[in-house]
């Protein structure tokens, strides 16, 4: 079962946190770079930057993703806001010298599918949570196996929109096994939400329902597999 570290639900948050998350969401959707930078600076004056990212930034990204699924915001708004967040957080992490987590070698990819939004959301959440992740973009099964072997990937995150792409995960599993790789496969996307048995069918190690599931899933897989060594991607 996937771990949900950040729910973003109003009934589990204080009014202050709800307001902070709401403000961050609005600034992201408005593509207000100055406003986002101000919120980051103000929000970390009296608290650890990593804590602010975990409690405000990640839930804000999840809320935007949920609003898209419910038809409240457009696909373009989600895409642009997640790109901006990813860019600003990279600058923020570097400026504050926030250490990346001790972690396995992680990569993310869109497997024979042209839906890039899910990947971008997961990548933003992972980076916000302090993980370094290699982004393979859009790739086919054979190309993904080559990249994973070259980079000695321990955990691969795969986002898909189409069922045909989801079914390719089983082929990936077979080829990774034949190559000798013991990499864990984490999947997510519409086909896996519609059919809760699909993850088992394609032999994935874990299924994420929301982008915010990713850090918890990775941490659990890493702990269970003894993959928490320090790496530099």
Residue 199, pLDDT > 70, answer yes
pLDDT value for 11: 45
Give the tens place of pLDDT for each residue, 202-220.
Answer: 999 999 987 778 989 999 9
Question: What is the C-alpha R_g of the chain?
Answer: 17
Contacts of 63 by beta carbon, 8 Å cutoff, 6+ apart: 8, 21, 25
Give the tens place of pLDDT for each residue, 150-186.
Answer: 999 999 999 987 888 999 999 999 999 999 999 999 9
Give the tens place of pLDDT for each residue, 42-93.
Answer: 887 877 676 777 778 878 877 887 788 788 988 788 878 878 887 887 777 6
pLDDT value for 30: 92
Q: What are phi and psi of 206, to 5 degrees?
A: -160, 155
pLDDT value for 149: 97
pTM here? 0.66
Give the tens place of pLDDT for each residue, 16-30.
Answer: 888 889 999 999 999
**DSSP secondary structure, the chain, as one string:** ----S----GGGS-HHHHHHHHHHHHHHHTT-HHHHHHHHHHHTSSS-HHHHIIIIIHHHHHHHHHHHHTTSS-HHHHHHHHHHHHHHHHHHHHHTTPPPPP---EEEEEES----HHHHHHHHHHHHTT---EEEEEE-HHHHHHHHHHHT-SEEEEEESSHHHHHHHHHHHHHHHHHT---EEEEEEHHHHH-TTHHHHTT-SEEESSTTHHHHHHHHHHHHHT-------
Question: What's the distance, CA 55 to chain centroid?
Answer: 15
Question: Which of 3.40.50.280, 2.30.42.10, 3.40.630.30, 3.40.50.300 would CATH assign to domain 106-225?
Answer: 3.40.50.280
Give the tens place of pLDDT for each residue, 82-102.
Answer: 788 878 877 776 666 555 566
Please tell me if the domain spanning 10-95 has the same topology as the one spanning 106-225: no
| Residue 94 tokens, joined | 């570097």
Chain-wide mean pLDDT for the chain?
A: 82
We find that the CATH architecture of domain 10-95 is Orthogonal Bundle (1.10)
Domain ranges for the chain: 10-95, 106-225
Tell me what percent of the residues of the chain surpass a pLDDT of 70.
85
Question: Which has more pLDDT, 9 or 109?
Answer: 109
């Amino acid at each position: 079962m996937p771990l949900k570290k950040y729910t973003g639900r109003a009934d589990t948050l204080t009014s202050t946190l709800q307001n902070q998350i709401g403000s961050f969401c609005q600034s992201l959707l408005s593509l207000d770079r100055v406003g986002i930078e101000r919120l980051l600076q103000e929000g970390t004056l009296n608290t650890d930057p990593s804590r602010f990212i975990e409690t405000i930034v990640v839930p804000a990204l999840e809320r935007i993703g949920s609003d898209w699924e419910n038809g409240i915001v457009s696909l373009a708004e989600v895409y642009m806001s997640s790109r901006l967040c990813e860019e600003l957080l990279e600058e923020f992490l570097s400026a504050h010298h926030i250490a990346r987590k001790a972690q396995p070698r992680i990569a993310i990819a869109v497997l024979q599918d042209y839906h890039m939004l899910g990947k971008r959301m997961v990548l933003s959440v992972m980076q916000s949570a302090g993980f370094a992740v290699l982004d393979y973009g859009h790739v086919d099964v054979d190309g993904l196996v080559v990249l994973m072997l070259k980079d000695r990937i321990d955990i691969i995150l795969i986002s898909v929109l189409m069922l045909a792409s989801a079914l390719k995960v089983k082929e990936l599993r077979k080829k990774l096994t034949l190559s000798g790789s013991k990499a864990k496969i984490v999947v997510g996307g519409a086909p896996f939400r519609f059919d809760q048995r699909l993850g088992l069918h394609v032999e994935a190690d874990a299924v994420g329902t929301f982008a915010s599931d990713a850090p918890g899933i990775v941490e659990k897989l890493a702990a269970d597999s003894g993959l928490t060594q320090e790496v530099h991607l």
